[in-house]
Structure formats: structure tokens, C-alpha cells
Amino acid sequence: MTVEHTGQAAEHAAESGGGATQYIQHHLHHLQWQVGEGKFMTLNIDSVAITLGLALLFLFFFLLTARRATAGVPGKFQAFVEMIVGFVDGMVRETFHGRSKLIAPLSLTIFCLVFLMNFMDMIPVDWLPGAWMKGHELAGNNPHEAFLRVVPTADLNTTLGLSLTVFLLIQVFGISHKGIGTFTAEAFTAPFHASGPVGKVLLAFPNILLRVIEELVRPLSLTLRLFGNMYAGELIFILIALMTWNAALSSGMTYVMAPLQFVAGFVWTAFHILVITLQAFIFMMLTIVYLSMAAENH
């Protein structure tokens, strides 16, 4: 977040006619598309488009690196990719106790894609939305009706979609490693075990109840943890960008707040780099742990 970027906040807020509140609401509004009559479904086009773009970017660079890989001294980018692949592969070998050709590529994809989506929060909050507004204005439209959010993981729909995909993979891994019979039987016989048929019948209900709660908590925790951290980070960047706007309400305070705004933006950016990396790592590790638990027999 630069001084030039954050200094645009007051200008945009003033142009919107609604002050700081209008500025925040504009930045937190998605570019949406209503599907069907009566608003049957609303798609957040910005989250979908940016996610697909980042996925294609990830595939392009990693496939290009794989095809140009050399057995000798690697280039800088190849060494960087190999470091990421080695790191993820080591985590998988230590955590996943089953056998699967899918788990390592899946974990690598999750880590890199979630990190790239999180990293969009490092782009100054006015750059891409401002360019989008300018494009609408040049096209003869109202620029203040041009909405764009650039952090897909700050959208609850994106994190929920990722978590539900992991949830479905957990069921697939459990059935493929144990068989449908054992997988179903475990739902009624674990975590409480009984030796006799009467005991198994009595404990079947609490077992299946705990199993349902356990399965529902996993995608819920994955969804809310990633979304909460990224939404909070995005909101703090917006509030930092508004520091000079709030100072402009007091005569002579803008030049006092500008250095503080720069320091606050720099400190939060440095800290947020750790946050976005840690959240990608946690999402990947929990996915590996959940899949490993699904593949193990009780």
C-alpha cells in the first residue's frame, strides 16, 4: 500500500457523494450477475473470474517450468518451484498415511491456489477497482455503479466452495480406501465400541450423531477460518486507505496523517504477508489431515 494509492481514497469517497461509508460499501460490493427470473441465483462474477484467472496462471507457470526443467543447475524460478513442491511433498509424506497418487498434486494445488487468491489482498485497494470504474466511465456508464472485489477468499462463497470440495473428497477417499461396507459400518460403530449386538444397537445412534457433527464441522471450520481472516485483512486495508479522508475533515490534518497512513499500511502489509501464507498452509494441512483420517481404519 503506497502513499499515492492511499491518497486516492479521499478523492474517490468525495466523488461518490456518500463519504467514508459510501467508499467502504462500494469496495465491499461484488460485481454480480442475476441468473434466472426473480433472481433465482446471484453469481459474484469478480470472484469467479479472478479465481479462474489465477488457476490458469498457476497451471501455466508450473507446466512451463516442468517442461523446461533441467537436470543440471536449475534457474531461479525452477529452483523456487522445486522448493515449493519439495516442501508440500514433505508435508504429505509426514501427514498422510495412506497411498494415493492424488494427494500430493491436490495439496500442491490447494496451497498455491489459496495463496494466490490471498495474495490479491496485497494489491492496493484502489488500483483494480479504480481502473474498473475508469473503464465504465469511458464507456459512458456511471462509474459509481462499477463494483469489483479482487480477493476471492474474502468472498464466503469461494471459501465455502473450496471447503465443500474437500468435504466430498473426504467421502471419496474413505470409500475408496475402506470400501462402502466398512465406511458405512464405521459411522455406526465409532468412536464408541461395543462387543455384543445389543451394545452396538444402543451405541449406533450416538455414534452416527457424532459422525454427522464431525463431518459438518470440518467444512464449516475451513470455510469460516479462511474467510474471516481474509475479510478482516481486506477491511483493515480499506480503513487504512481512509485515514487521509477522515483527516481531511479537519483542516490541516491531512499532511499529518499521510505519514502515519504510510507507516500503518507498510506494517499491516508486512504482517498480512505472513497471514496469507499461513492461511494457505493451514487450509492445505487440514485437508491432508482430514483425508488421512478418512483413509485410516478405526
Which amino acids are annotated catalytic? 221, 225, 229
Residues 44 and 233: their CA atoms lie apart, in Å, by 20
User: What letter would DSSP give residue 13?
Assistant: H
Q: Write down the H helix ranges in the chain.
A: 3-6, 8-16, 19-27, 45-67, 76-95, 103-119, 127-138, 156-189, 197-241, 243-248, 254-295
User: What count of other Cβ atoms lies within 10 Å of the Cβ of residue 139?
Assistant: 9
User: What count of other Cβ atoms lies within 10 Å of the Cβ of residue 83?
Assistant: 11
CA separation, residue 10 to residues 89, 145, 154 (Å): 47, 18, 24
Chain-centroid distance of CA 25 in Å reads 21
